[in-house]
Amino acid sequence: MTASPSTADAHLPDFMRRDRSWHPPAYTPGYRTSVLRSPKCALLSLEQGPGEKTGPCFRADMLHELDNDLITNYAAATGSSGVALGERIIVHGRVLDECGRPVPNTLIEVWQANAGGRYRHKKDGYLAPLDPNFGGCGRCMTDAAGYYFFRTIKPGAYPWPNHGSDWRPAHIHFSIFGDAFAQRLISQLYFEGDPLIPLCPIIHTIQDERAIQQLIAKLDMGEQRPFDCLVYRFDIVLRGRQQTFFENKREGL
Amino acid sequence: MGEKPMPVEYLKETPSQTAGPYVHIGTLPAHAGLPVRQNETLNAIEAPGERIVVEGIVLDGSGAPVKDAMIELYQADSKGQVGEHTLWGRAAAMFETGELRFDTVRPGALAWRGGKMQAPHLTLLIFARGINIHLHTRMYFPEDEAAHQVDPALNRIEQVQRRKTLIAEKKKDGHYRFVIRLQGDQETVFFDM
Ligand SMILES: [Fe+3]
């Protein structure tokens, strides 16, 4: 994978500050692993420079044809013509910034458990079986209007040791780059109506119920693929650039 | 098309969630054991300039290695430019030891605001299970002492003894070690930028 040039402009406007009360704090004892992995000192606030206002820029041509199809991409990579087991879904939506502007040509990476709640990962030993036709790894890019989609199977819930056996609701992990390192974000997508959502200590690291709602994909029956796939809508918002009221125009502009 | 009016109601940024223990599946699938993208070596950055090795480890509040950490690197090229030669990388801690490594080039001094300069540094983002929102830190080079004296980030750190948490140890020429401490007496400085 190679990164190509992005806009190297020190004069780019700053990003709005991150609203840290909207994100989960570092120390959340309900999620026990955070206890020893949370800094105790306050974060150091610093203005952004060119190293924060630019970032890696990925090209669509680095993606493989099946990267956005988790139903077939693993089988194809292993020389099988099989398809993944489970409830077939498409996840789609737009990536916008806080000002409502689309974020085009940005890379989204996704990973998830299979329909039984098992990850294809060296460290996952859950007793649910691996699906020989499911890897759980995908990528896609937003188009010029910030729109993206990928096809997969709905992941299963799985247990994990926290307070005894806690259960993760069905979720898809996603990673997104935006235009600048300041916009970098990793989070998780949940599914509307999942009864495990109110019980999940990881979701409840987020203090504001409205912020939690932002992570819940909505069933989009209007877009269903008849006799094929259910569709979920999931929009993503990245940090927005501030308006610049007194920007010195560069020569020639 | 005319300029859109300034929005008075902003959208809220999508909240972060931990990358979890299986972050490698989506970001470094070969490390997770998936037989895809086997040839992808995101921790080896090819660019003109002086080659360097940066080895590192993330330690938790008990001093134990964070063996599931994933770190992303963003840096200026050897001439101090970002953008034109975007240098970005990604490395995973070894499951057995927590050690990780980047092979890259020594960055040049990067511009700062108002015509000032920053000392050469690597920007690092740390993702792991138990980290609810990624941690943003920087690694500086021990031999750049003069540049450190005027670096805007290092100078913003009021507790002078904490500045050294951002300065790597030089093992030998071109080989550095950087220990990131998430918590404790020598807690690394993390930024909100
Ligand atoms: Fe998970």
Q: Closest-CA residue in chain A for B32?
A: A121
Query: Is the predicted pLDDT of residue B82 greater than 70, yes or no?
Result: yes
Q: Does A40 touch chain B (CB under 8 A)?
A: yes
pTM score above 0.90 = yes
Is the pLDDT at A3 greater than 80? The verdict is no
Percent of chain B with pLDDT over 90: 89
Domain architecture of chain B: domains with CATH: 38-181 (2.60.130.10)
Complex-level ipTM: 0.94
Q: Is A247 on the interface with B (CB under 8 A)?
A: no
What 8-state DSSP symbol labels residue A28?
A: -
Q: Quick one: what percent of chain B has pLDDT higher than 70?
A: 95
Largest CA distance in chain A: 64
Per-residue pLDDT at A171 exceeds 80 = yes
Q: What is the pLDDT of residue A65?
A: 94
Q: Does A211 touch chain B (CB under 8 A)?
A: yes
Q: Is the pLDDT of residue B1 over 60?
A: no
Nearest to A242 by CA among A175, A177, A176, A182: A182
Nearest-5° angle of CA A15, CA A176, CA B38?
Answer: 140
DSSP-derived secondary structure letter, B163: G
What integer is the mean pLDDT of B82-99? 91
The pLDDT of residue A12: 85
* Per-residue model confidence (pLDDT) at position A253: 42
User: How do beta strands A230-233 and A216-219 pair?
Assistant: antiparallel
Indicate if the pLDDT at residue A8 is higher than 70: no
CA A239/CA B14 separation, integer angstroms: 9
Q: Which position among A31, A94, A118, A119 bears the catalytic label?
A: A119
**pLDDT (tens digit, 9 = 90+) per residue, B94-131?**
999 999 999 999 999 999 998 899 999 999 999 999 99
Domains of chain A: 24-33+55-249 (2.60.130.10)
Q: What is the pLDDT of residue A5?
A: 37
